[in-house]
């Protein structure tokens, strides 16, 4: 389903949860002086709740049911102190709600749009180190490349994605998957966020033009995967990241990565090819999502053109 940077309203999966003010007060353990619903997200409902003393909390209600609620709760508790994730304050099994301390800062997407270029560039190495640390973190479950590529291959051969992309682009992407083979499965089986996009990364100023990653949010789709899964999600909009940014990212990743595991030279293309399997899957939606589909087609078209060069 559509996520992260895609147009949001038309792609929402679950309706917003109506949360009475008294429930929010009970969950945070005090009387709020300010309550604000947080935009973003396609399934869950998040409120920022601020108390008189100044403490702020995120209250997240999971409209998708118990499984994503439990998955994210378990992940946040396991990763706290290991990776920059929000600190859980309270969880309510009956309401499928989690309260965690508000992570101050702005999203990476907002940083890119509103801050000087030097600020955005300063986050390249930290992002590389963060994803290398995640690649060193084990995760339960299994992951296999073959079924993912086979599914994309089938949809590009005879399916709605082929109809929406057109035969030339579909055939070019199929040939690219055939040519690359198992390279998309590079790296060890590791923790994969599952939606490592610029709206799920909170950044804040560290010193001057240098900024840092303050938090990674929305872990409900966490699973085992290959390192290129999250790298591909981060660089889905490849045109937003110039050559110096990519070089600094790669340096940070290689410096923090496991000994003997060298980020391949073609990582930028391979990661986006792996991410494109998700774009193809999105184009198989039976609902008509004009904005989402236009974005998918544009991204795949750019990738195919780059591969042709």
pLDDT at 120 over 90: yes
Q: Which of 86-90, 240-244, 285-289 has the lowest mean pLDDT?
A: 285-289
107-308 and 9-102 share a CATH fold: no
Q: Which residue has the tokens 């619903």?
A: 37
Domain extents for the chain?
9-102, 107-308
Percent of the chain with pLDDT over 90: 85
pLDDT reported for residue 110: 96
Q: List pLDDT tens digits, range 220-253.
A: 999 999 999 999 999 999 999 999 999 999 999 9
Alpha-carbon gap, residue 130 to 87, rounded angstroms: 18
Structure-token pair, residue 74: 């378990």
pLDDT at 2 over 80: no
Mean pLDDT of 245-265: 92
The band of 10, judged by pLDDT with boundaries at 50, 70 and 90, is: low
CB under 8 Å to 260, separation ≥6 — which residues? none
Q: List pLDDT tens digits, range 121-146.
A: 999 999 999 999 999 998 888 999 99
Query: What CATH number belongs to 107-308?
Result: 3.90.1200.10
Nearest by Cα to 224 from 178, 253, 185, 257: 185
pLDDT reported for residue 1: 36
pLDDT at 13 over 80: no
Helix (H, G, I), strand (E, B) or coil at 191: strand
Fold classified for 9-102 = Phosphorylase Kinase; domain 1 (3.30.200)
CA distance readout (Å), 69 to 1, 199, 220: 18, 20, 7
Q: List pLDDT tens digits, range 193-230.
A: 999 999 999 999 998 889 999 999 999 999 999 999 99
Largest pairwise CA distance in the chain? 60
Mean pLDDT of 148-173: 98
């Amino acid at each position: 389903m559509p996520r992260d940077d895609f147009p949001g309203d038309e792609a929402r999966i679950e309706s917003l949860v109506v949360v009475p003010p008294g429930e929010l007060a009970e969950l945070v353990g005090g009387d709020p002086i300010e309550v604000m619903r947080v935009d973003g997200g396609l399934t869950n409902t998040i409120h920022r709740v601020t108390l008189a003393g100044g403490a702020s909390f995120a209250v997240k209600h999971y409209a998708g049911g118990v499984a994503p609620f439990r998955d994210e709760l378990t992940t946040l508790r396991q990763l706290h102190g290991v990776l920059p994730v929000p600190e859980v304050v309270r969880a309510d099994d009956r309401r499928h709600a989690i309260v965690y301390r508000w992570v101050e800062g702005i999203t990476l997407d907002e940083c890119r749009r509103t801050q000087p270029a030097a600020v955005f560039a300063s986050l390249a190495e930290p992002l590389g180190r963060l994803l290398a640390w995640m690649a060193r973190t084990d995760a339960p479950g299994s992951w296999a490349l073959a079924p993912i590529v086979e599914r994309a291959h089938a949809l590009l051969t005879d399916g709605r994605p082929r109809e929406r992309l057109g035969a030339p682009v579909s055939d070019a992407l199929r040939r690219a998957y055939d040519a690359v083979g198992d390279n998309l499965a590079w790296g060890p089986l590791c923790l994969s966020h599952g939606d490592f996009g610029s709206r799920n990364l909170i950044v804040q100023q560290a010193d001057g033009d240098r900024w840092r990653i303050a938090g990674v949010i929305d872990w409900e789709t966490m699973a085992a995967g290959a390192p290129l899964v999250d790298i591909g999600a981060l660089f889905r909009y490849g045109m937003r990241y110039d050559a110096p940014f990519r070089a600094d990212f790669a340096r940070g990743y290689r410096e923090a990565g496991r000994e003997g595991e060298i980020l391949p030279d073609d990582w930028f293309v391979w990661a986006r090819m792996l991410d494109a399997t998700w774009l193809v899957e999105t184009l198989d939606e039976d609902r008509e999502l004009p904005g989402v589909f236009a974005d998918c087609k544009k991204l795949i078209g750019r990738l195919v053109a780059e591969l042709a060069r």
